[in-house]
Amino acid sequence: MKSLAPFRSGKPNWYPDQSVYSEYACAEFGLTFQDMNGGTGLVFSVASPTKTVHFGAGRCSYYPQNNATASTLASDKYFTNTILERAGVATLGGEYFFLRDRHRAHRPAGHERGDALEYFSKLGGAAFIKPLLGSRGDFAQAVPDEASLARYLDEVSQYYDAILIQPIVSGNEYRVFLLDDEILYTARKYPPFVLGDGARPIRDLLVAHNEALRSRGLSPVAVADDTSLDIMLTKGQRWEIPGRMNLSAGGTMVLEAPSSDAALALARKAARTLGLRVAAVDLFTEVGGDPKEIRIIEINANPSIRLLEQSERYDLILKIWRHTFLTMGLLGV
């Protein structure tokens, strides 16, 4: 097995990860990788002697073995929850609400901004909210009160059309990555953090953290008017940032299995229910401190696998792409 390093070397930070992994897999399996966009990696092809398959970055799927309907359903968090709950798979629930009036004539009543305020009150005046079709943890955050909700809706409406409002839930967060029914790997998610430098209070460290998030096109962490943020951390001291744990938003993922096999069984059932052959199922275990309580957070039909590169599990990257190449008739024919 070749090293991935030469394929990553020299690529700019914005270069798509999966384009690197595809080129790496092509070299391993004797296929031809061709960049079709001047070296950007945004559009490329993979060819065998008898067939060519094209791929694209951004919203394009790197997993053509997932059919378009299943992938689209998975991208809508409300649709996903509705289907899973009907199948007996516990989710975090929630309701969707639109932020603009433009297409109001084409949807049922009860899902407008004013309705969001009413639902928020039903949840006790605090909730976890995220864009309905969002990714990378963008604008996924706990909203503690009505004033914060109004500010959140004003800001998120500049970028997204709809949101999902859910109850705030605590638990241990995991990702379960499946190829068909095989669990390829599991990872524990941990929150992002700032490191003290002995010179700046937490508030200033958060400002620097937010600048880094904005530079990557992600929403900043809400900085509360709280005197605890004026505390000065000693050099090297960690302060965890509550909320989203996405790797792209500064969270940490560690290859680690949940303590209960029931979580793995639930992830399998969730992916199978949506009809996905490749899926990254995010879930909470030990919800509310109950060791038996497990809830699905969401299902990713086009998941990032950068964790595998960071963990030097190049064998798993190759296994994923081999599955894709076999499915598309580029290998084994």
CB neighbour burial string for 180-192, b if at least 16 within 10 angstroms, e if fewer: eeebbbbbbbebb
Stated pTM of the model: 0.89
C-alpha closest to that of 68 among 274, 283, 240: 274
pLDDT the model gives residue 280: 98
d(CA 246, CA 136): 6
Q: Listing from the earlier edge strand, what are the strands of the sheet with 43-47?
A: 32-35, 43-47, 52-56
pLDDT the model gives residue 119: 96
Tokens of 98: 């639109």
User: Domains of the chain, with CATH numbers?
Assistant: 5-62+314-327 (no CATH), 67-92+170-191+242-301 (3.30.470.20), 93-168 (3.30.1490.20), 195-239 (no CATH)
pLDDT of residue 67 exceeding 90: yes
**Is residue 160 very low, low, confident or very high in pLDDT (cuts 50, 70, 90)?**
very high
For residue range 262-274, list pLDDT tens digits in order.
Answer: 999 999 999 999 9
